[in-house]
């Protein structure tokens, strides 16, 4: 049981930041992205920790993907009904917790300020391009190309056919190339 | 996939990798906290313990939901207590039912009770 806990810890640690990035690209909101990743972690530990370790990545991303779709559906409905209310978005943002002062301290091992600014700008460009993609294309691209799941695994995670995964990926790449053509990556 | 496409994808992957490595310290801390919280959940069999851990997890949205559900439950409980304890609200129902059960009158009399009530009202109106 202890071995299992250590393995789970190691697994979650290895994917948490990438999972957060995927959730952030889908939601464009730090708090929502953290909530989605946390929910996926809970579900994996609670329901699937007894499964073989080799199955954890696909299971985790299946849960995360389904959470992202749920969030997307709910926020679409919420925006439809509450979108006209003034300050709705601001109210959401105001609820963020105050930052921990220790965690805000400068990390001396990190890259220099110019490099950080450059990286951040490039990343923001890429994220903006990814965010313009329809959710299915976004997920197919990130799972297949970034997480390097096979077409079959991606189809399993997304709950669609392998043909759909290929189509979504093809369209996503074409659109990203179009959007990032003149940007220097 | 063409060579050009491969290059483009590998550049994107590289950038995404860097962005995942360089998440802000605050986000890193919150992710670590979420992971530790998740690992404390008792596995599978202990449903209620798992539920409790999830409720106590540092999750903003969940706390709001719990607050709403708790408030709603409190209102229902208060309403139920009020209805059950305040005298006079449902006394007449219980007395009526008890009277009917305990009475020795024939059931036909109770069937016609509505008619007698109506008759009494009519008489009262005529008199008024």
A92 has a pLDDT exceeding 50:
no
Cβ pairs bridging A and B (under 8 Å): 118
Residue contact B20–A12, C-beta within 8 A: no
- Alpha carbon distance A172, A139 (integer Å): 10
| Phi, psi dihedral angles at A52 (to 5 degrees) | -60, 145
Does A109 contact B at CB distance below 8 Å?
no
- Alpha carbon distance B15, A181 (integer Å): 15
Return the pLDDT at A181.
81
**Which ipTM score applies to this complex?**
0.75
Over the stretch A135-150, which tens digit does the pLDDT of each residue have? 999 999 999 999 999 9
Cα Rg of chain A (Å, integer): 18
Return the pLDDT at A61.
95
B27 has a pLDDT exceeding 60:
yes
Return the pLDDT at B84.
78
The mean pLDDT value for A127-136 works out to 92
Domain assignments of chain A as residue spans, ordered by start: 1-78, 112-185
Confidence of residue B93 (pLDDT cuts 50, 70, 90): low
Task: Measure in Å the smallest separation between the Cα of A151 and chain B Cα atoms.
Answer: 14
Over the stretch B107-120, which tens digit does the pLDDT of each residue have? 677 777 778 888 88
- Alpha carbon distance A170, A68 (integer Å): 22
Residues 42-101 of B with CB under 8 A from A: 43-44, 50, 54, 57, 59-62
Give the least confident one: A33-37, A78-82, A102-106, A173-177.
A102-106
Contact A100, B26 (CB under 8 A): yes
Return the pLDDT at A119.
67
- Alpha carbon distance A58, A55 (integer Å): 6
The mean pLDDT value for A162-166 works out to 95
Does A175 contact B at CB distance below 8 Å?
no
Confidence of residue B32 (pLDDT cuts 50, 70, 90): very high
Does A2 contact B at CB distance below 8 Å?
no
Task: State which residue of chain B sits closest to A147, comparing Cα positions.
Answer: B13
Over the stretch A22-48, which tens digit does the pLDDT of each residue have? 999 999 999 999 999 999 999 999 889
Give the least confident one: A32-36, A71-75, A153-157, B97-101.
B97-101
Average predicted confidence (pLDDT) for chain B: 77
Please tell me the CATH code under which domain A112-185 is placed: 1.10.10.10
Among A8, A9, A145, select the one facing B9 at the smallest CB separation: A145
């Amino acid at each position: 049981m202890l071995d299992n806990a250590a393995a789970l810890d190691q697994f979650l640690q290895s994917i948490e930041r990438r999972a957060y990035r995927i959730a952030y690209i889908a939601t464009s909101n730090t708090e929502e992205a953290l909530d989605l990743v946390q929910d996926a972690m809970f579900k994996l530990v609670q329901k699937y920790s007894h499964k073989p370790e080799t199955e954890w990545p696909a299971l985790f991303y299946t849960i995360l993907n389904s959470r992202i779709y749920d969030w997307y559906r709910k926020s679409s409905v919420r925006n439809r009904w509450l979108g006209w209310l003034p300050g709705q978005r601001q109210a959401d943002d105001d609820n963020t917790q105050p930052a921990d002062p220790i965690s805000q301290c400068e990390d001396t091992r990190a890259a220099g300020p110019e490099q950080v600014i450059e990286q951040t700008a490039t990343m923001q460009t890429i994220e903006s391009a990814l965010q313009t993609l329809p959710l299915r294309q976004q997920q197919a691209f990130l799972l297949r190309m970034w997480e390097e799941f096979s077409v079959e695994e991606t189809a399993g995670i997304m709950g669609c056919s392998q043909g759909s995964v290929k189509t979504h990926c093809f369209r996503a790449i074409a659109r990203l190339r179009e959007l990032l053509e003149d940007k220097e990556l | 996939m063409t060579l050009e496409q491969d290059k483009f994808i590998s550049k994107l992957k590289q950038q995404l990798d860097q962005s995942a490595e360089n998440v802000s310290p605050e986000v890193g801390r919150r992710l670590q906290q979420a992971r530790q919280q998740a690992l404390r959940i008792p596995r599978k069999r202990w449903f209620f313990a798992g539920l409790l851990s999830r409720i106590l997890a540092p999750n903003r949205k969940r706390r709001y939901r719990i607050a709403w559900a708790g408030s709603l439950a409190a209102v229902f409980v208060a309403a139920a207590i009020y209805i059950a304890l305040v005298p006079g609200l449902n006394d007449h129902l219980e007395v009526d039912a008890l009277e009917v059960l305990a009475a020795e009158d024939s059931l036909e009399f109770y069937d016609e009770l509505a008619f007698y009530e109506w008759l009494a009202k009519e008489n009262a109106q005529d008199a008024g």
